[in-house]
Amino acid sequence: MEQSIRCGVDIAKLVFQIHGVNAKSGETSMVKKLARNEMLRYFANKPAMLIGIEACGGAHYWARELTKLGHTVKLMTPQYVAPYRRGGKNDANDAEAICEALARPNMRFVAVKSESQQAVLVMHRMRDQWVRERTSLMNQIRSYLHEFGIVINQGRAALAKTLPLVAESETLPLLFRQSIADLADRLTDLETRITALNKRIEAWSKQDTTAKALLELCGVGSVTASAAVATAGDVSVFKNGRQFAAWLGLVPKQNSSGGKTQLGAITKRGDRYLWLITSFRSLNNIMPIRFFLPAF
């Protein structure tokens, strides 16, 4: 059934701006500012409508909650909404721009993530932060050892072999050895946490139907599979593998005009985290399958 009202909602932490229009005539029929605790109660008393929200912090939560109330919710990338904003940037103009962008037939929408998918992404963000911290800590230890004439080969294994020798060396100052021991303890703690998190991610990948199907592909492991499933959300928004490839950024830049086609390097405009944790080969293996069908 076609909704009679099209509504744009500009969300924030505490204040929400709403702009609704008649879906057929385009006349403004709803302009309202709501507090956070009024949001769900307000829409619970409204007929089913088409609601647009910018894909920002909290957007997936509100999309799920409004969907439960019977509304149809579409998330849009903020950069695609900006061209429809009139006047200065404020909550009212943002809500109106979202409402206008929602009506565009060629608008690209962001898939709404489930709670499970967002929970998996939390694990990945934690893992990414800890891996960065581990790398920084290892570089810090190497630089300190270098000041005392100790140069270590690259890799965690070489550092792990050297640290016990440093702790036992009587030629190095006691204060220095104690400081290195504290850093080594912190490094061990990070290693333990990352290993435990990797096991949780692996366990989830083996339980999830889609991630399990991805594990069958060459070059795709549990980290890649779980990140791809959680990041993509509902892949029904992709018509084919080409669209998924474009979303990932596996397409060349174009600078074409006058019938002359000029292609450049791969854009990599997709999710940066996927590019950081995976190789080009693994992403390329996922792309042609119309995104994991028939699992999706």
pLDDT digits (tens, 9 = 90+) for 4-38: 789 999 999 999 999 999 988 889 999 999 999 99
pTM of the predicted model over 0.75: yes
Is the domain of 22 the same as that of 101?
A: yes
Is the domain of 233 the same as that of 193?
A: no
Query: Mean of the pLDDT values across residues 143-148?
Result: 93
pLDDT for the residue 286: 61
Is the domain of 45 the same as that of 95?
A: yes
Query: Mean of the pLDDT values across residues 80-108?
Result: 93
pLDDT for the residue 155: 87
Examine residue 296 and state whether it is found in any structural domain, yes or no: no
- Assess whether pLDDT exceeds 70 at residue 272: yes
pLDDT for the residue 284: 63
Examine residue 146 and state whether it is found in any structural domain, yes or no: yes
Q: What is the 3-state composition of the chain as percent helix, strand, coil, each rounded to the nearest 5? A: 55, 15, 30
Examine residue 173 and state whether it is found in any structural domain, yes or no: yes
Range of the domain at 245: 209-289
Is the domain of 219 the same as that of 191?
A: no
Domain boundary among 141, 172, 204: 204
The better pLDDT of the pair 244, 116 is held by 116
At residue 281 the predicted structure's pLDDT band, cuts being 50, 70 and 90, is low
pLDDT for the residue 64: 96
Is the domain of 182 the same as that of 87?
A: no
Q: 127 by DSSP, 3-state: which?
A: helix
pLDDT for the residue 238: 74
Is the domain of 11 the same as that of 96?
A: yes
Burial class (CB in 10 A: 0-12, 13-18, 19+), 151: exposed
Domain count for the chain: 3
Examine residue 294 and state whether it is found in any structural domain, yes or no: no
The better pLDDT of the pair 285, 264 is held by 264
Q: Residue 291's CB: how many other CB atoms inside 10 A?
A: 25
Q: Mean pLDDT across the chain, nearest whole number?
A: 87
At residue 295 the predicted structure's pLDDT band, cuts being 50, 70 and 90, is very low
